[in-house]
Structure 1
Amino acid sequence: MKRLLILLTLTLSLVYAKDSVEFKYAPKDLQRSFPSEQNQILSYSNILENVRTSIVNISIKKEIKGNLYSANPFFNDPFFREFFKGYGDIPQDRIQKSLGSGVIVSKDGYIVTNNHVIDGADEIIVNLAGDKKEYEAKLIGKDEKGDLAIIKIEAKNLNAVTFYDSDKVKVGDIVFALGNPFGVGETITQGIVSATGRSGVGIVEYEDFIQTDASINPGNSGGALINSAGHLIGINSAIISKSGGNVGIGFAIPSNMVTSIATSLIESGKYTRAYLGVTISDVSEDMSSFYNENYGALITGVEENSPAAKAGLKRGDLIISVNGKKIESASELKNTIGSYAPKRVVNIKFLREKKIDVVNVTLTTLDSKTAMGEFEYKGMKLAEITSIDKQQLNLTLEGVIVKEVDQKSEAFGSGVRKNDIILQVENSEISTLDDFKRATATDSKKRFFIYRKGGIFAIVL
């Protein structure tokens, strides 16, 4: 019996030895290196001292027009209307104020910020670091799809920020976020670059974010993300948070995208993106086997008379590079094409039936394409819901979306707001712009059923 136990033990030992893992250990004699002696302080103040004066505080004022009913969709309920009868027509015009940040990009007063910081502003006020004077800013141009805007103040010899090539930013780089969170005043927070090329977040249409754990809080929007050399690598734009406070997931628009958009906005007041004319998707691991284990942007559709169609691109082609830049996802292709000016000729490398081919494509303008898909009605711009809208707003329903609404219009006064979804007009359900046009063909007042943030309410327009 004892011999059997010994034999069993040896057998088990052999089995365990066979399955064991040899762990990799660091040398036991590793020494700690200290950043300084006890009579020295490790600091970045010399780097940040200069760039601090390139950051500005932005405050805006905008007049909100409407009445009690339009201020809150619950007052469109018949019960509430009856209960508050007579009060709903009382004017509820009010001044809304908000704060944000901006970055000086030229000595003569051009400042870059987020579009959402100044969107709809009637008045934009800028405060410079160390200067008690308030400067009234003029809006030069904005790019809603990239969430950037350029404003200008009348000032000279300002400290313009130094830009860094954001394509050279690496994960792990030390960075600083500068801005005015919660309106408490100039604030600097430190972190690292957590990721680059972040897309699919659902914040804006064109996303190529630098992700950081440096604290970015409300009011930091439009401020600077600076590397340890004091150079601008991005414009702070958004955070992911359930509470509204920082949880270590912040996003900045990379400096290369900023310079491209800002240059166009300063020169012409607008930024026009190029258009290829394809619908695209990512490639799964199983799908990549059909393309020699390559990843890229898979063409799922080609629009008639588009640049892609004229160049001979087809459904099923896998785009793997543009002008020598490797493409590994659908969003990367979208951002790359969107960074070019219309009429630009680009070299596209793609895979078709496991063979690589190359074609030159002359791009056109995206704005002319998207404008065709919009419809104006009583002060609001409507469009059909896209996959991007569904992702950004977490939508699963059909209807038309309100892209813009004039604050002085009849639609705004009745309670319509940006990103509202019009589901039904009278007894007609709405899925397309054609449905909406038919339902609103006559000028009579109609009931509109609108979806907003999980609730449905009705207005008369």
Structure 2
Amino acid sequence: MKRPLRVLPALLFVALFTGGMSLSLPAFAELPPVVDGHQVPSLAPMLSKILPAVVNISARGEVKVHNPLLDNPQFRRYFGLPDVPEEQRVEELGSGVIINAAKGYVLTNNHVVKDAQKITVTLRDGRQFDARLIGRDKATDIAILQIPAGHLTQLPLGDSTRLRVGDYVVAIGNPFGLGQTVTSGIVSALGRSGLGIESYEDFIQTDAPINPGNSGGALVDLHGHLVGINTAILGPDGANIGIGFAIPVNMAIDVMDQLVKYGRVERGRIGIAAQNLTPALAKAFGVKQTQGAIIAQVQPDSPATKAGLKAGDIVIEVNGRKVHDAAQMRNIFGLLRIGTEVKMQVLRHDRPMTFSVVIAKPTQTTVAGARINPLLAGATLGEVPAELARQAKLHGVAVMAVQAGSPAEHGGLLKGDVIQSVNQVPVGDMSTFVREIKRHPKSLLFNVRRGNGALFISLGG
């Protein structure tokens, strides 16, 4: 698994009864067995109905092994090495949830199937099927599979917005490839974000034990309704220490609907930068509001500018949903497609105002390398995408494309490189990059981030 974070943990749900005590059981429960004259609660009646809806997933494929030296064409030519990158076989074990029995749709995590060339789904009754990948979204870590199977059981959907800290939940999955396993615990926290696990984060935190292999499995409430997709754990070396995270089912279903309909999630922009409304900022702005997102910047010629939004506006609602902080607002926009009209309620000088904003396509400015310097001919350069810059804390100029046989390729640049410095001067944007190149146009030394590694590349004299 790619992260040190994976699956959820669980605590045993225990209830003690003394003579004369009674327990009002949920509607799904049957009369529990009797021990020493006392009724003993059990999750078994509920689980017997929903366990067939949780599946085991085996994803097999090959990934390229990136070696910065082998990626350098000059190094390969000098040592007579082949151009074909080495590949390594990988197998990812995970879990999934049958979300539509009639169509055979299985909801899981993107990281379970992202490198897969062959995906096998195993049902609780032992049947196995080759799955078709309908679509996947890296930003939310959601993927949808389809299996050609009949007589399936689908998991009923819950409402993750109604979860409360302290609610009991049950995690179901395939930890360590052992087979279907059930653990239980409580909701420890809600709305967890800023963890750096995904681009869009609104996690349910739970102590219901999850482990590697639980990823993509179900987090259900005591009524057997799906409330989350188990995704990650926080702990040393991926070990479970009682802090696990699940994607809220409402977010997962929103993403699934787009993947089923369009095959991908098409995100746009409105052109604002926002920050959390803190008590200190609320006091400075003279508002009684304690939750919201302050617009810190509005980009010129953006949908936000055209709608009339201004820096200093405090966003309190988007499409009728209350905004608690900037991360939540970002999540709301991240689930809306390009062309969607959004109603934003803001406070301006403590007065409520409403604006309509249409989500637009993201802008990406690219420059032909030859226009900057002949040594870069054949390369297409651009700003590092905002999502990548935020998630990987990566700044510089991105190499968007490199033509075969061009000076840029002969110099050692590859598509996907991020140039972080020119002649040992950090370059965080295109203007700085161009300025430093013009200072020493005949001799360029780049520090390049390539995959998980880095190297220096020298062009010219």
TM-score range, shorter chain: 0.7 to 0.9
Partner of 1:125: 120
Question: Partners of 1:127 and 1:381 in 2: how far apart?
Answer: 45
Shift of 1:257: 1.1
The equivalences for 1:8-19 within 5 A come to none
Structure 2, unaligned runs of 5 or more: 1-17, 24-33, 370-377, 403-408, 438-443
Q: Is the 8 A contact 2:63 2:90 kept in 1?
A: yes
Shift of 1:316: 0.9
Partner of 2:308: 312
Partner of 1:50: 49
1:192 aligns with 2:186: yes
Shift of 1:358: 2.1
Partner of 2:133: 139
Q: Assess, with a 3 A threshold, how the Cα gap between structure 1 residues 261 and 375 changes in structure 2: closer, same or farther.
A: farther
Aligned partner of 2:342 among 346, 352, 356:
346
Q: Is the 8 A contact 1:56 1:102 kept in 2?
A: yes
Q: Is the 8 A contact 2:342 2:359 kept in 1?
A: no
Question: Partners of 1:275 and 1:338 in 2: how far apart?
Answer: 9
Aligned partner of 2:262 among 250, 261, 268:
268
Partner of 2:10: none
Q: Assess, with a 3 A threshold, how the Cα gap between structure 1 residues 401 and 249 changes in structure 2: closer, same or farther.
A: farther
Question: Partners of 2:142 and 2:415 in 1: how far apart?
Answer: 21
What amino acid sits opposite 2:110 in the alignment? N
- Which has the higher relative contact order, 1 or 2, with Cα contacts under 8 A spaced 6 or more apart? 2
Shift of 1:299: 0.6
Q: Is the 8 A contact 2:139 2:198 kept in 1?
A: yes
Shift of 1:88: 9.0
Number of residue pairs aligned between Structure 1 and Structure 2 = 404
Shift of 1:456: 3.7
Q: Assess, with a 3 A threshold, how the Cα gap between structure 1 residues 91 and 74 changes in structure 2: closer, same or farther.
A: closer
Shift of 1:282: 1.0
Q: Assess, with a 3 A threshold, how the Cα gap between structure 1 residues 142 and 247 changes in structure 2: closer, same or farther.
A: same
The C-alpha deviation readout for 1:19-50, integer Å capped at 9, x for no partner, is xxxxxxxxxxx999587753543210111112
Shift of 1:332: 1.6
Q: Is the 8 A contact 1:382 1:404 kept in 2?
A: no
The equivalences for 1:252-331 within 5 A come to 252-273=246-267, 275-289=269-283, 290-294=285-289, 295-331=291-327
Bigger Cα Rg: 1
Shift of 1:341: 3.8
Q: Is the 8 A contact 2:366 2:380 kept in 1?
A: no
Shift of 1:204: 1.3
Question: Partners of 1:192 and 1:59 in 2: how far apart?
Answer: 29
The equivalences for 1:8-407 within 5 A come to 37-38=35-36, 40-65=39-64, 70-71=66-67, 92-107=86-101, 108-133=103-128, 135-273=129-267, 275-289=269-283, 290-294=285-289, 295-359=291-355, 361-365=356-360, 368-369=361-362, 372=364, 384=384, 386=386, 389=388, 392-393=391-392, 395=393, 398-400=395-397
Q: Is the 8 A contact 1:141 1:265 kept in 2?
A: yes
Structure 1, unaligned runs of 5 or more: 1-29, 406-410, 441-445
Normalised to the residue count of structure 1, the TM-score between the two structures is 0.75
**Partner secondary structure for residue 369 of structure 1:** coil
Identity among equivalent positions (%) equals: 38
Q: Assess, with a 3 A threshold, how the Cα gap between structure 1 residues 322 and 58 changes in structure 2: closer, same or farther.
A: same
Shift of 1:384: 1.3
Shift of 1:151: 1.1
Question: Partners of 1:270 and 1:93 in 2: how far apart?
Answer: 27
Q: Assess, with a 3 A threshold, how the Cα gap between structure 1 residues 90 and 303 changes in structure 2: closer, same or farther.
A: closer
Shift of 1:157: 2.5
Q: Is the 8 A contact 1:375 1:433 kept in 2?
A: no
